[in-house]
Amino acid sequence: MDPQRKDYLATEAVYTADSLRIGDEYVMHEWERPLIRRMVEDLKLKPDDRLLEIGFGMGISASILQEFSPASHTIVEPHPQVLVQAERWKGTRTNIQLHPGYWQQLDIGAPALFGNLLRSVRR
């Protein structure tokens, strides 16, 4: 999402048991889980990896990434309702940092600090 699109952050996000819709658009669905798992497996993650993930959505990729026990897992997400879900999902885990905002406005250190980047949002 382009940060210039000011209406995005005020557009309602609706979670169901198997999907996420933001406004009129379905942005994520459970059927994508096996595809996301394959994407994550292709990263060949190691337990000491530092991950940067762009967009929380339903947290499908985030949950699969956590199975690999990364040293750190930074998630960048601009939508306020999605951030609430992400906070709930994070719980008390200490290797996860939620970073409110758009990736285009990222100011969380040099990209070289991260071993892997997972982006599942449109440009």
Q: In the complex, which residue's CB is closest to ligand SAM? A: 55
Q: Which residues bind ligand SAM (CB under 6 A)?
A: 1, 27-28, 36, 54-61, 76-79, 82, 102-104, 120-121
**Minimum separation from the CB atom of position 68 to ligand SAM (A):** 15
Contacts of 10 (CB under 8 A, 6+ apart): none
For ligand SAM, the closer of residues 59 and 70 by Cβ is 59
47-65 burial: b if 16+ Cβ within 10 Å, else e: eebebbbbbbbbbbbbebb
For ligand SAM, the closer of residues 95 and 98 by Cβ is 98
Contacts of 111 (CB under 8 A, 6+ apart): 52, 117
**Minimum separation from the CB atom of position 6 to ligand SAM (A):** 13
**Minimum separation from the CB atom of position 51 to ligand SAM (A):** 12
**Minimum separation from the CB atom of position 58 to ligand SAM (A):** 4
Answer whether 61's CB lies under 8 Å from 116's CB: no
Answer whether 79's CB lies under 8 Å from 8's CB: yes
